[in-house]
Amino acid sequence: MTNNTCSEARDSSRSLKALRRIIRGLDVHSRRLYRECSTTSPQISCLNTLAKKGNQTLSALSQDMHLSVSTVNGIIDRLELRGMVSRTRSIQDQRKVVLSITQAGIDMLNTIPELMQDIYAQAFNRLSPENQDALSRLLDKLADHFTPTEKEQYHNTEIIISNHDFISNPGTDYQLH
């Protein structure tokens, strides 16, 4: 192995370890959130998005959250059972179902501990503006290799198609969504 290849392998390993530490931090926060509030991070993200952006269709909400429609549908089902979200037919187009946050959902948002996004923002803001910009651009580029646009998916052979079904049992003590 050449020195350049060894260096690339070390950099790749170092960056992967850093990402794992970040993911671990997210997981620890999610577990605490579930223990304290019986609510998961994805549920809070849905409520936050609906509170900030207003009423949305399921497909628009799933795009905002970068999750599949079926995943968001399951999250919304659970929130609806708890009275935090409501579904109503659109007046303009009866085929569309509009999601909206209820007062119970707003109350939940007002009582939850500090969100992971807030913790991330605090850590991110400790970086210099130049480093913030560089990190954002590089993470976007890296993420593009895992989640291609439709056009890229068919034309770029360097994109890694991720398989999310490889974890049969995540070993968590809470519902994932």
Pair (143, 88) in one structural domain: no
- Name the residue type at position 143: A
Q: Look at the chain and report how many structural domains it folds into.
A: 2
User: How would DSSP label each residue in 79-96?
Assistant: HHHTTSEEEEE-SS-TT-
Q: Place 149 in a pLDDT band, splitting at 50, 70 and 90.
A: low
Pair (46, 122) in one structural domain: yes
Q: Average pLDDT for residues 89-107, to the nearest whole number?
A: 90
Domain at 98, CATH number: 1.10.10.10
Pair (117, 60) in one structural domain: yes
Q: Are the CB atoms for 125 and 140 separated by under 8 Å?
A: no
Pair (89, 140) in one structural domain: no
pTM: 0.63
* Model confidence pLDDT, tens digit, residues 103-138: 999 999 888 766 666 777 888 899 999 999 998 888
* Model confidence pLDDT, tens digit, residues 10-59: 777 888 888 888 888 878 877 888 888 888 888 988 999 999 999 999 99
Pair (77, 138) in one structural domain: no
Check residue 175 and give its pLDDT: 45
Pair (45, 121) in one structural domain: yes
Pair (119, 139) in one structural domain: no
Q: Is residue 51 part of a domain?
A: yes
Q: Place 76 in a pLDDT band, splitting at 50, 70 and 90.
A: very high
Q: Is residue 170 part of a domain?
A: no
Per cent of the chain over pLDDT 70 is 75
Taking the C-alpha atoms of residue 13 and residue 67, their distance in angstroms, rounded to an integer, is 27
Check residue 172 and give its pLDDT: 44
Q: Mean pLDDT check: name the lowest of 51-60, 140-149, 162-171.
A: 162-171
Enclosing domain of residue 42: 16-126
The number of residues in the chain equals: 177
Q: Are the CB atoms for 66 and 58 separated by under 8 Å?
A: no
